[in-house]
Amino acid sequence: MDALTDADREALRRAMRMKREFDPRYRDVTDVEIDAADDEWLWSYGIGASFGLQLNRLQLKPWQCPPCHADDEVSPKGEYGGMPEEVSLLKRMRALGLSRFEPDPLAAIDAAEAKAARAASK
């Protein structure tokens, strides 16, 4: 398990909260459990929530990799997670200070870019 950043923890907690709204496997998880979760618990359960939400929000095909599983570099062999568009999206997210586990990557990118634009115009 890689070390989680504060941004990762927050994104994984949001993913868990979002996922339980429509997935019966997550319905019994309370806010108290999510808020008190340690990194190992978040890693075990939050990743699945993030993965599913990213697949859905990005409307990915079965052979396309969401940012939570993408590689840091393009794969010369074009392997899953290392495709140029997969790596590019992850790098774009990271450049904006976003976690790879953002449950809705495009909405998070839009919000971060809007925030940066507002800050630049002041």
- Residue 108 within a domain: yes
Q: Which domain holds residue 29?
A: 6-121
pLDDT in tens, 24-52: 888 888 889 899 989 999 988 899 999 99
The reported pLDDT for the residue numbered 56 is 96
Determine, yes or no, domain membership for 23.
yes
Produce one character per residue of 71-97: b if its CB has 16 or more CB atoms within 10 Å, e if not: eeebeeeeeebbbeebbebbeebeeee
Compute CA distances 74 → 39, 78, 103, whole Å: 28, 7, 23
Report if residue 28 sits inside a domain. yes
Per-residue pLDDT at 1 = 59
Number of domains making up the chain: 1
Q: Does residue 70 sit within a domain?
A: yes
Q: Is residue 39 situated within a structural domain?
A: yes
User: In which residue ranges of the chain is pLDDT below 50?
Assistant: none
For residue 23, what pLDDT is reported? 85
Task: Tell me if 1 is assigned to some domain.
Answer: no
